[in-house]
Chain A
């Protein structure tokens, strides 16, 4: 029974919220009624068994809950359109239209007029169906803080009339990229969780990000960047269990047990990368990042890695996105191709922009170590340890520093 409810929650939550949002033009009513419908399902399915069409049952129940609430508020003198209540026995929407509604809901939750952290929280609540305590825990804030953030966002969407629709073709690429940025942020927070008391890898968040990206992919199958982001997440997730040692230390790519990588996820990721290559359209950043990940995951041994291919892909990425973080990652690949000295020169040029970023210091520390410059390496490790927020990474950096001669 628990499983049936969990499955229904995964499959139907966003659909129910989306269909109620369209019908009542109010995210707050939609969210509350959907939550009530799932709570009722827990009780009723226990007693009466799972209904033949759980989705339709949930939508109908949620509709009734929403109407009940509107009637209650009407009695308290709120102005509501009585006309909306006349369509109580609406037939369920055809499936195509409902898929469209989920997409609309995603674009509303990821609207550029909302702060990034608000977009993330709203997406996790409205689309993924995470509870307020779950979201608060994921981002290490008080539950009341998260509730306020979401309440404020819903009020803004209503008052400023943030539209509930798929953006026009002209605006679509920018808006899709905004949605993908939200999903990538959720994934990364799961993959390299920050905070002294958090697990180093938050599988709940990475799984949620992948599930949402799969949903977007199902809704927009032709979009190359959606496919690219999904491939990138799958190829990263495939290495998750190899990434932290039994003692809770980060294991870098070159030291990972490649036999423990998830072959099914890698195969799916590679399929997506090949699909994008075959499309013959200039790739965006997620597709290039996925291709880099594909090169790494194609090598059975780290020594088999095609580093010239990796550097070539980074060159392509730098042309698209000249950010210092990309340049740093390119330098790491250059170290394998042209040696640590060349790489260090490239990394040192980034100091002005990346002095506050732990990976900059960790990369320098590693390159200096390989060049036998222990004193400087130790200082760089110290700096990296001071800034790093991930427990497994701190443990790894500390061991590396203490192994220096």
Chain B
């Protein structure tokens, strides 16, 4: 079973060196224990482009699809047996990156 762990943040700026170091330690653990699928940090929402090609021609719009105070700053995709395991890992992830996280199961 795979879960998306989204990192939610509400300020400008990237992870500090301390946060980066803690994230590295956490990632190593995910790999060692077989939970790791993928992870990444994202550039600021202002760097996003929305594409809509449902009509005649593709429309490109500058900026994120949703303007909001909180935004997606990065994510993990983890493999875990159930939500209890995932919640524990997500709690550690939140501590490591020093941000709120949201857990959502893949279908």
Interface residues of A (CB under 8 A from B): 111-113, 159-163, 167, 171
List the A residue with the shortest CB-CB distance to B105. A160
Interface-located stretch among B6-14, B35-43, B80-88: B80-88
A163 touching B84, Cβ below 8 Å: yes
Q: How far is the CA of A361 from the CA of B84 in the complex (A)?
A: 42
- CA gap between A364 and B91 in the complex, in Å: 42
Alpha-carbon distance between A163 and B80 when the two chains are bound, in angstroms: 12
Instruction: Tally inter-chain residue pairs, CB-CB below 8 A.
Output: 25
| Residue from the list A112, A163, A171 in contact with B82, Cβ < 8 A | A163
Distance in angstroms from B92 CB to nearest chain A CB is 14
Q: What is the CB-to-nearest-CB distance from B28 to chain A, in angstroms, rounded to a whole number? A: 23
Size bin of chain B's contact surface = 10 to 19
Question: Least Cβ distance of B83 to chain A in Å?
Answer: 5
Contact, CB under 8 Å: A167 / B105:
no
When chains A and B are docked, how far (Å) is the Cα of A253 from the Cα of B86?
48
Instruction: Assess the B1–A161 pair: CB atoms within 8 A.
Output: yes
Q: Which residue of A lies closest to B3 (CB)?
A: A160
Q: Which residues of A contact B107 (CB under 8 A)?
A: 159
Q: Residue on B with the closest CB to A107?
A: B84
Residues 64-107 of B, flagged 1 when their CB comes within 8 A of A and 0 if not, give 00000000000000000111100100000000000000011101
> In the bound complex, what is the Cα–Cα distance between A159 and B3 (angstroms)?
10
The chain B residue with its CB closest to the CB of A162 is B83
**In the docked arrangement, what's the CA distance between A159 and B105, Å?**
7
**CB-based contact B84/A167 at 8 Å:** yes
Cβ contacts under 8 Å, B104 to chain A = 160
CB pairs A–B below 8 angstroms (17 shown)? A111-B83, A112-B87, A113-B83, A113-B87, A159-B107, A160-B83, A160-B103, A160-B105, A161-B81, A161-B82, A161-B105, A162-B82, A163-B81, A163-B82, A163-B83, A163-B84, A171-B84
| Min CB gap B93→A, angstroms | 16
Q: How far is the CA of A167 from the CA of B84 in the complex (A)?
A: 9
CA distance A111 to B87 in the complex (A): 11
Enumerate chain A residues within 8 angstroms of B1, measured Cβ to Cβ.
161
A113, A160, A162, A171 interface centre (most CB from chain B within 10 Å): A160
| Cα of A335 to Cα of B104 in the assembled complex, Å | 51
Contacts of A159 in B (CB 8 A): 105, 107
Query: Residues of A contacting B103 with CB < 8 Å?
Result: 160
Contacting residues, chain B, for A162 (C-beta < 8 A): 82-84
Q: How far is the CA of A162 from the CA of B3 in the complex (A)?
A: 12
Look across to chain B and name the residue whose beta carbon is closest to the beta carbon of A161.
B82
| Alpha-carbon distance A160/B83, docked complex (angstroms) | 6
Shortest distance from the beta carbon of A288 to any chain B beta carbon, whole Å = 29
Q: Which residues of B contact A113 (CB under 8 A)?
A: 83, 87
Interface centre among A111, A112, A161, A162 (most CB of B within 10 A): A161
- Taken together as a complex, chains A and B put the C-alpha atoms of A241 and B107 apart, in Å, by 52
Kindly state the separation between the CA atoms of A162 and B83 in the bound complex, as whole angstroms: 5
Q: How far is the CA of A160 from the CA of B103 in the complex (A)?
A: 9
Give the Cβ gap from A179 to chain B, nearest Cβ, in Å: 15
Residue of B nearest to A113 (CB): B83
- Chain B, residues 1-44, CB within 8 Å of chain A (1/0): the string is 10100000000000000000000000000000000000000000
Task: Please measure, in the bound complex, the distance between the C-alpha atom of A163 and the C-alpha atom of B103, giving whole angstroms.
Answer: 15
* Chain A residues within 8 Å of B3, by CB: 160
Nearest residue (CB) in B for A158 is B105
Report how far A163 CA is from B105 CA in the complex, Å: 13
The answer for the CA separation of A159 and B87 in the assembled complex, in Å, is 14
**Cα of A111 to Cα of B105 in the assembled complex, Å:** 16
Q: 8 nearest interchain CB pairs?
A: A163-B82, A160-B105, A161-B82, A160-B83, A162-B83, A163-B84, A159-B105, A161-B83
Determine the chain B residues whose CB is within 8 A of the CB of A111 once the complex forms. 83
